Amino acid sequence: MQQTSGEDEAAPAFDAVQADVGKRLDDVAKILAGALVTVAGVMTALGLTSDLVFVALNNESWPIYVASLCAILAIVCSIVALLIHPTGRGNVWKTAVLVVGVILYMVALSVSVVGAAKAAGGNGRPTIGDVRLEGPRSGLRLSFGVQADGVETWAKVGVYVDAIDEKGNPLEGSPDLYESSMRPDDRGRIKQDVSVPISAPPGAWGLEIVASNAGGTDDCDAPAVHGAACTTIQLP
């Protein structure tokens, strides 16, 4: 049976429509191909610098890992979509792959915002430096500096000075010789110099300075991310 001219014209027209749909889907795929760059741009726009990225990864900031993984998977979806031939069935598969890619793309963008905020907050691990002990035992003055970056607005760094024996244990019945709660500035930073007179109790071998962050532990030997910073100095 001979094919009519109407059917002959319909077939090329249908192919042209499928090709046009395939081209539009390819445009979407090309957009998804830049997912990782877009996610990085969002994080940069929110103030996530390269230094903070390393801090965040060191602190196990899961949103950055999730955002990066989703962005990479979105790129994979875009590559797969570009490789699918723009036929009727091919466009169906291409659409399905791109729907998954777009979802991953949106998740990556959303989580990147959380990641940038979390990284900017950091975990506020403090450090102790420039420790000096001056004067005779009867009139000692202890000086030291405390620094911390990425301290959340509501958080604080607790600083204590205790008298210890030769084994590094706190003297029984001896109160804290110094205690302070330090709050961060509007950029989440703490940088304070402390200089206080110290009256060491009898039997004290030295002094221990402990700086602990919110949600952390005061145990100097604790194998924890939020562990305390500790420094010991011997009395004259």
Burial track 142-178 (b if 16+ CB lie within 10 A, e otherwise):
bebebbbbbbbeebbbbbbbbbbeeeeeebeebeebb
* DSSP assignment letter at 175: P
The residue-averaged pLDDT of 18-24 equals 57
Residue pair 88/75 in contact by the 8 Å Cβ criterion:
no
Nearest to 18 by CA among 108, 116, 97, 87: 87
Stated as kind and residue range, the H or E segment containing 127 is: strand 126-134
Model pTM score: 0.55
Residue pair 195/177 in contact by the 8 Å Cβ criterion:
no
- Please provide residue 229's backbone torsions phi and psi, each rounded to the nearest 5 degrees: -95, 130
Q: What is the pLDDT of residues 172-211, one digit of tens each?
A: 878 888 898 888 887 778 889 999 998 888 888 989 999 9
Query: Is pLDDT of 48 > 70?
Result: no
Q: What is the pLDDT of residues 56-93, one digit of tens each?
A: 555 556 777 888 888 888 888 888 877 777 777 877 88
